[in-house]
Amino acid sequence: MGFLRFLGFTVVRAGQGFWRNKMMSLAATATVILMLVLLSGLVIVLGGLNSGLAYIESKVGVTARLVDGLAPEAVDQLVAEVSALPGVASVEYVSPEEAMRRLEQAYADRGQTLETGGSDISLYASIEVALTDPAAATSVSAALGERPEIERITTIQEQYDKLLGVTNVVRLAGLSAMILVGLTVVFMIVNTIRIAVFSRSREIEIMRLVGASDAFIRWPFIMEGMLCGLLGAVFTVLLVALVWGPIQPLLIEIFQMPTAVGAQFFTFVAVLILSVGLVVGMLGSWISVRAHLAAGV
Amino acid sequence: MTDGRSVTKARPAAASLIGDEPLIRLVDVTVTYPNGKEALINVDLEIRRGDFIFLVGPSGAGKSTLIRLLIREQVATTGRVYLAGRDLARVSRSQVHRLRRRIGVVFQDFRLLPNKTVRENVAFALEVTGAPLDEIRRRVPRLLALVGLEDQARQLPAQLSGGEQQRAAIARALVHDPAILIADEPTGNLDPVTGWEIVQLLLEINALGTTLVVATHNQEIVTALRRRVVALEQGRMVRDEVGAAYRRG
């Protein structure tokens, strides 16, 4: 009961404080929105890049096209020897028939039919080498290159490295921008609450004199900062929800990966926005209250 | 009379009937501010339950510092301040609010919240200490009746006279039924007639058992009432006399 009274008092006072100091409160809320919109954008872009990375990582391996007419025994021997190389997880022989089946399947997945124009086409046989570690691609490629059964080697290591580089740059730039904007937001909230504290200094003085505990004095201000953060977060979540549908095709177009844009990912982004909004609001007001309500002795 | 050694000691009379332990005891208290100024110098003082004390002295004599010590807004640089036997320097910051509920304070400028009615101003002091709603509903009208403000309960401070505002401030100071009420220049902003009315109210509150410490420059009231007078000058206690008149050092 006591706690409920305290909570009720704190929430009501925080709401009153927000409203009385509305220009500053709204300005602080707007900066929270700016920060959270940036954060959402960053998380969505990083989500896309990461799922792209994860996809490529799963595919990083070495594909080796075999010379025509290789005897089944020679294939078996090649598979056995390549499997024994360090860094190799598994080796799969893909026959020309299997390669054709996969091609047809790929077409079918896109809702198309493979048209060969009536001619009988034949694909190359190959081996697909899966690696235990993407870093082993170079040494495995080199070993395969020396074998006469192998005509050509392809890897997607280069693509992976490029994407990893882009992801790292985005991460770094995004995090730096987030830290800068985050500090600005905390600063804005510190100032908003500072003004609130000053404008209610008479009230605070009376509260102290009549024996209000520190919690009763401080928490309404902290709650007020959290209110700025929460309102900003709710607004941002609504904004993201609004654009979530329209940006889906764009994201799939850019990243070629549907994994980053599912409903589960939206929930993650929404929870992240709400948590960051609340924490930033609380942090800003806590700093302000600590600095300005450090009561006498 | 500016020498601390020439202090006339108080007669530990009426209050001693109630109990031996003083409600407030200052033992060799000195307060030195960071700039080196000594606001109080070697002050010894005992206030017993039920006492009515006038604290007098010119501006800068140390009255406000003494009040700040009593409400634990400040601690003594040296010496000890006890409230009901409890050393105030040992009261942790997290416990100061409990202590302050035992001490009511009123000021010359009333310090009412201008956007709250009289009733709300008094209730506020209970709300911020987490008092239950039914207690607030029960206590506030009683306190307003005690100070004679039942009819003004719904008015804002700006709609009240100075005397009425001071009554509202007194009602607020009494919400926790404090053992002691400290009034810092309670008549300073009031005309003489209204000032007397406030003093009458303070006497009634004292008669109900609350200890009163009234800091004042009002010679007429101090001299007329002949209560215990504690005089400070330049930080030293120069007089502590029962039944005394106001006297300039």
Of A37 and B7, which is predicted with more confidence?
Answer: A37
% of chain B residues with pLDDT over 90 = 79
* Per-residue pLDDT, B109: 92
**A-interface mutation test, from B97, B111, B176, most A Cβ less than 10 A away:** B97
**Within this chain, do residues A28 and A145 fall inside the same structural domain, yes or no?**
no
Q: How far apart are CA A160 and CA A165, in angstroms?
A: 9
Q: What's at B66, amino acid-wise?
A: L
Q: Report pLDDT for A3.
A: 83
Taking an 8 Å cut-off on Cβ atoms, the answer to whether A210 and B113 are in contact is no
Residues A230 and A190 in one domain: yes
Nearest to B130 among A6, A214, A296 (CB): A6
Assess whether A48 and A172 both reside in one domain. yes
Which residues have C-beta within 8 Å of that of residue A152, sequence separation ≥ 6?
A: A64, A65
Across the A:B interface, residue pairs with CB atoms under 8 Å apart total 65
**A226 and A244 share one domain:** yes
Kindly state whether residues A52 and A67 are assigned to the same domain: no
Question: Which pLDDT score is estimated for B65?
Answer: 94
| pLDDT confidence bin for B5, thresholds 50/70/90 | very low
Closest Cα partner for B136 from B151, B121, B149, B150?
A: B121
Q: Do A212 and B93 touch (CB under 8 A)?
A: no
Q: Using the 3D structure, point to which of A110, A140, A155 is the last residue of a domain.
A: A155
Q: Are residues A130 and A268 in the same domain?
A: no
CA–CA separation, A205 and A184 (whole Å):
30
Single-letter amino acid, residue A287: I
pLDDT at B36 over 50: yes
A121 and A264 co-located in one domain: no
CB-based contact, A293 to chain B, within 8 Å: no
At residue B152's C-alpha, the angle toward residues B129 and A196, to 5°, is: 45
pLDDT reported for residue B8 = 45
Residues 6+ apart with CB under 8 A from A221: A14, A17, A193, A196, A197, A285, A288, A289, A293
Q: B197 in helix, strand or coil?
A: helix
pLDDT for the residue B10: 43
Domain-embedded: residue A71:
yes
- pLDDT, residue A27, reads 87
| Residues B45-87 pLDDT 10s | 999 999 999 999 998 899 999 999 999 999 999 999 999 999 9
Compute the mean pLDDT over every residue in chain B, rounded to the nearest whole number: 89
> Hey, where are the domains in chain B?
112-172
pLDDT score for A296? 45
Instruction: Confirm whether A297 is domain-assigned.
Output: no
Global pTM value: 0.70
Instruction: Say if the Cβ atoms of B111 and A205 lie within 8 Å.
Output: yes
Q: State whether A175 and A243 are in the same domain.
A: yes
**Cα distance between residue B8 and residue A114, in whole Å:** 116
B97–A205: do the CB atoms touch at under 8 Å? no
Q: Is the pLDDT of residue B12 over 50?
A: no
Report pLDDT for B14.
Answer: 41
Close Cβ partners of B133 (under 8 Å, ≥ 6 residues apart)? A5
Contact between A297 and B74 using a beta-carbon 8 Å cutoff: yes
Write the DSSP assignment of A187-248 as a string of letters: HHHHHHHHHHHHHTHHHHHHHHHTT--HHHHHHHHHHHHHHHHHHHHHHHHHHHHHHHHHHH
pLDDT score, position A110: 66
pLDDT at A180: 85
| Whole-number Å distance between alpha carbons of B231 and A247 | 79
From B93, B96, B113, residue closest to A203, measured CB to CB: B113
* Model pLDDT for residues B135-184, shown as the tens digit of each residue: 999 999 999 999 999 999 999 999 999 999 999 999 999 999 999 999 99
Last residue of a domain, one of A105, A120, A155: A155
- Whether the CB-CB separation of A62 and A140 falls below 8 Å is answered with yes
**pLDDT value at position A154?**
78
pLDDT tens sequence across A33-77: 988 998 888 888 888 777 777 777 666 678 888 888 888 899 999
Does residue A211 come out as left (phi exceeding 0), alpha (psi in the -120 to 50 range) or beta? left
Chain A residues closer than 8 Å to B129 by CB = 210-213, 216
Mean pLDDT across B103-115: 93
Sign of the alpha-carbon torsion through A122, A127, A130, A133: negative
Contact A206 B124 (CB under 8 A): yes
Q: Which of residues 164-223 of A touch B (CB under 8 A)?
A: 202-203, 205-214, 216-217
What pLDDT digit, counting tens, does each position of B173-193 carry? 999 999 999 999 999 989 999
Considering only CA atoms, which of B42, B47, B107 is closest in space to residue B238? Answer: B42
CATH classification at residue A83: 3.30.70.3040
ipTM of model: 0.83
| Tokens of residue B111, six digits | 């310090």
Alpha-carbon gap, residue B107 to B117, rounded angstroms: 18
Number of domains chain A is built from: 2
Domain-terminating residue out of A127, A155, A183: A155
Indicate if A250 and A175 belong to the same structural domain. Answer: yes
Report the C-alpha gap between A237 and A271 in whole angstroms: 9
* pLDDT < 50 positions in chain A: 259, 295-297
Which residue's entry shows tokens 């006497």?
B203
Q: Do A72 and A133 sit in the same domain of this protein?
A: yes
A211 CB neighbours in chain B (<8 A) are 97-101, 129, 176
> Residue for token digits 């307003």?
B144
A52 and A185 in a single domain? The answer is: yes
In a domain, A145, yes or no: yes
What number is the average pLDDT over the span B20-30?
Answer: 91
Residue A201's domain comprises 2-56+161-292
Kind plus residue range of the DSSP H or E element containing A138: helix A137-145
Assess whether pLDDT exceeds 60 at residue B94.
Answer: yes
